[in-house]
A and B are shown apart, each in its own frame.
Chain A
Amino acid sequence: MKVSTKRWWPSHSSARRLNAVCLLMIGAAVLALLGVDFQRYPVDPWQELSRIGWGLLLPGWSEATTLIQALLQTVAFALLAVAVSTPLGLLLAMAFRWRLVRMLCAALRSVHELFWGLIFMQLFGISPLTGLLAIIVPFSGVFAKVFAEIFEQQSPLPARAAPKGASVFIRTLYTLIPQSWPALLSYTRYRFECALRSSAILGFIGLPTLGFHLETAFKQGQYSEAGALMWAFLLLIASIRWWLRPWLIVPYLIAAIWLLPDTIGFSDGGSLWRFVSVDIWPAALLAGDWHGLLHWFSVMFSQQVWPGVVQTLLLTQIAVVLTGFIVLFTYPFASRALVGPWLRWPGRFVLLVLRCTPEMVLAFVLLLLFGPSGLPVVLALALHNGGLIAFLVANASDAAFRSGQARADDPRGLTRYAYIETPRRLPALMAFLFYRWEVILRESAIMGILGVATLGFYIDSAFEEIRYDRAFLLIVVTALLNMLVDSLSRRMRGAFSQQTNIT
């Protein structure tokens, strides 16, 4: 009998489509490898690495008051920001049918929290409002997108059956929201953890959260202080489920408002208008000098925008694919169905460490190990995001295991991994990966210390040089790139999404 390969994976196979998407991504990454400098330099890192190691092993708790204060403020910013951005995201999700709303949300989330922070700092100075908005604005966009996708996955029948006279808002309130309540809740809970990370990271630009002290300690080589901060943050994240109880949320929110730092000094109200009307536009444009504007633009394009876009896309593509492999290799060690209820804890701990360690710290350690090149950039991004996605995938696996989806006669070990768990998790894994594609694109910003000139590197330089016109142009380019990747990933996910509800 003649057998063509076509018969094994015809177009009626979701697996085949997914495989095609995977191969496409891997192929693109392999091509990207040709364009990235992965040169390794001979290094002598052991003295510094051993200091870092001792710092982590013997953390210094002498600055306990500062630590606790920073910890509390980290939580306060995260709580308030999520409390505001969740309902905002929900409302935006209800209006997600409108292209304008979709574009607005894509624009909001396409700018990294740190850059939102830098923008709002121009407007509101170093103040709690700056910190809150820096989280609220992008998070609302993310919530809107994810909530809208959760709504899409629900059966449309209850909403269709609801009285036509009722408003969209009321109909959603009575149909889609209750239908998808568990999914909304679990995503919000996960997002709170993200908000804690964002809140901590915002310390890098001056908010009094954990990142403020972590950056200082790391920068100045005070590794035992850095160790204490890292451990504290790790414990904070690991213990969320014990301290974040539904009935405690209202008291927490009140406490959070009280805990926010005072605004020192005052900001004159004119800075907002000056920022939007003057600062972000090139001087040539404001002067009406079209020739000068063209020159400004061509210089920016040839020296920063184009090389930045190319570097960013190449590194992102490699990092995304590497992230995928890291997830496939690590998630089984944290999954109950695969390694059992007890043995999964070491695996879960490693994933916790990976996702709680800011990429900046990972990048620094990897820089010491490999020297400056694309290699530590890609590894840092892939390890951090791989740890995060593997954690989510392992959680999904455990949830399915608990809910009794698992059959008593399912195979065990490697065959279970290959036949049951991985095929079941793969669509979600790919979806997470596509989300992180955007995130990784934004995060490549922090790689200036590695001498890798991504878009984020140029944005950071523009802010540092107080050239907001450049920063604005570069942020717009980054946002457009993000939206492009977003629509591409949406389309690719469409290729393997399950065609439920249609018979």
Chain B
Amino acid sequence: MSRLYGLLKSLVCVRLICSSLLLLALPLWAQAQAFVFTAIPDQDESRLQQRFGKVADYLSAQLGVEVQYIPVKSYAAAITAFRNNQVQLAWFGGLSGVQARRLVPGSQALAQGYEDQLFKTYFIAHQDAGLEQADELPAALKGKTFTFGSKGSTSGRLMPEFYLRQQFKSAPQALFSRVGFSGDHSRTIAQVQSGAYQVGAVNYAVWESELAAGKIDTNKVQVIWTTPTYPDYQWTIRGDVDQHFGVGFTDNVRKALLEMNDAELLASFPRLRFVPASNGDYEPIEATAKAIGLLD
């Protein structure tokens, strides 16, 4: 009996603590009705808040509603936020956009970067790997060490894996002696340049800009193959924004994005300008993801 009483008392204490925890959390649960977007650029993730805060200001002025930016760390986090309606608009990679639109019915791709119409991936190799630039992936890749970028990246994972499977008819893990995921294109370059991995797959835009910045020693690391082009980054918006922010809101957002011509704002992505895009543009990506088993 006393034991039961003791248990009850303990439970009351737990309840008290839980409820005080809730009290603590609730005020932070600000139910702001702002229009929120997120973006992970494919290079230079520093000072996200400052840089994309300016994009938020631009959108706010164009749309006439409060616009906020929320920084995220990964494509998965961006998709989750999009799915849970924490953000209504997101700058996704090709694959993450497809994943997000599958999870949120009615959502649509609004615009893509000019460069994203004809995106491509470079296969890069360390000098000591003894691989030369070629028109197709060399058979000598077998048994080398290889690193992708982030697991959910289109240019760093999806497309290179697709072309590897197409060429060698086997999974990368079977082809290479070791397969890593560097998590980021800059890391991929650094790891191949240092010889930690012999071969890597990298977003061409990141390669070009690091090359221009003098961070790459071409005596040590070189491009050995370039993939065919494919569509990549795009703006995707939820289907229910018109209900929340008024009829025609989606069109206004698209217009604002397409009309963005401030070089400073565009440099955050970094893209030349934005051009119209539709869900249909990304069907090849979806098919590729299904082909390599990243989507069911």
Report the minimal beta-carbon distance from B157 to chain A, rounded to whole angstroms.
9
Bitwise interface map of B from 97 to 141 toward A, beta carbon under 8 Å scored 1, else 0: 001000100000000000000000000001010000000000000
Alpha-carbon separation in the docked complex, A262 to B103 (Å): 26
Report the minimal beta-carbon distance from B40 to chain A, rounded to whole angstroms.
10
Q: In the complex, what residues of B have CB within 8 A of residue A219's CB?
A: 45, 183-184, 186-187
B193 at the interface (CB under 8 A from A): yes
Alpha-carbon separation in the docked complex, A203 to B197 (Å): 27
- Please state if A449 and B183 are interface contacts (CB–CB under 8 Å): yes
- Please state if B180 and A267 are interface contacts (CB–CB under 8 Å): no
Q: In the complex, what residues of A have CB within 8 A of residue B24's CB?
A: 80, 257
Q: In the complex, what residues of A have CB within 8 A of residue B198's CB?
A: 41
Q: In the complex, what residues of B have CB within 8 A of residue A460's CB?
A: 151
- Please state if B103 and A266 are interface contacts (CB–CB under 8 Å): no
Q: Which parts of B47-100 form the interface with A (CB within 8 Å)?
A: 47, 68, 70-77, 79-81, 83-87, 99
- Please state if B72 and A206 are interface contacts (CB–CB under 8 Å): yes
Q: Which parts of A50-99 form the interface with B (CB within 8 Å)?
A: 63, 66, 80, 84, 87-88, 91, 94-95
B10, B34, B44, B76: the one within 8 Å of A464 (CB): B76
B14 at the interface (CB under 8 A from A): yes
B195 at the interface (CB under 8 A from A): yes
What is the chain B residue whose CB lies nearest that of A360? B183
Most buried by B among A127, A225, A283: A127
A182 at the interface (CB under 8 A from B): no
- Please state if B194 and A450 are interface contacts (CB–CB under 8 Å): no
Number of B interface residues in the complex (CB < 8 A): 76
- Please state if B5 and A265 are interface contacts (CB–CB under 8 Å): no
- Please state if A466 and B17 are interface contacts (CB–CB under 8 Å): no
- Please state if B183 and A466 are interface contacts (CB–CB under 8 Å): no
A179 at the interface (CB under 8 A from B): no
Q: In the complex, what residues of B have CB within 8 A of residue A165's CB?
A: 2
Bitwise interface map of B from 174 to 201 toward A, beta carbon under 8 Å scored 1, else 0: 0001111111101100110111111000
A47 at the interface (CB under 8 A from B): yes
Answer whether A122 and B84 are a contact pair too, CB < 8 Å, given A42-B195, A220-B46.
yes
- Please state if A48 and B193 are interface contacts (CB–CB under 8 Å): yes
- Please state if A372 and B84 are interface contacts (CB–CB under 8 Å): no
- Please state if B2 and A169 are interface contacts (CB–CB under 8 Å): no
- Please state if A264 and B194 are interface contacts (CB–CB under 8 Å): no
- Please state if B178 and A451 are interface contacts (CB–CB under 8 Å): yes
Q: In the complex, what residues of B have CB within 8 A of residue A44's CB?
A: 126, 128, 194-195, 220
- Please state if A265 and B70 are interface contacts (CB–CB under 8 Å): yes
Q: In the complex, what residues of B have CB within 8 A of residue A125's CB?
A: 80-81, 84, 86
Q: In the complex, what residues of B have CB within 8 A of residue A448's CB?
A: 151, 180-181, 183
Alpha-carbon separation in the docked complex, A464 to B86 (Å): 18
Q: In the complex, what residues of B have CB within 8 A of residue A122's CB?
A: 80, 84
Bitwise interface map of A from 213 to 224 toward B, beta carbon under 8 Å scored 1, else 0: 001110111100
B32 at the interface (CB under 8 A from A): yes
- Please state if A371 and B145 are interface contacts (CB–CB under 8 Å): yes
- Please state if B73 and A205 are interface contacts (CB–CB under 8 Å): yes
- Please state if B84 and A368 are interface contacts (CB–CB under 8 Å): no
Q: In the complex, what residues of A have CB within 8 A of residue B142's CB?
A: none
Bitwise interface map of A from 261 to 279 toward B, beta carbon under 8 Å scored 1, else 0: 0111111100100000000
CB-defined A-B contacts under 8 Å, sample of 9? A41-B198, A126-B70, A206-B71, A263-B29, A264-B34, A266-B86, A364-B187, A368-B194, A372-B196
Closest 9 A/B residue pairs (Cβ)? A451-B180, A168-B6, A167-B6, A265-B36, A125-B86, A265-B86, A43-B195, A206-B73, A44-B195
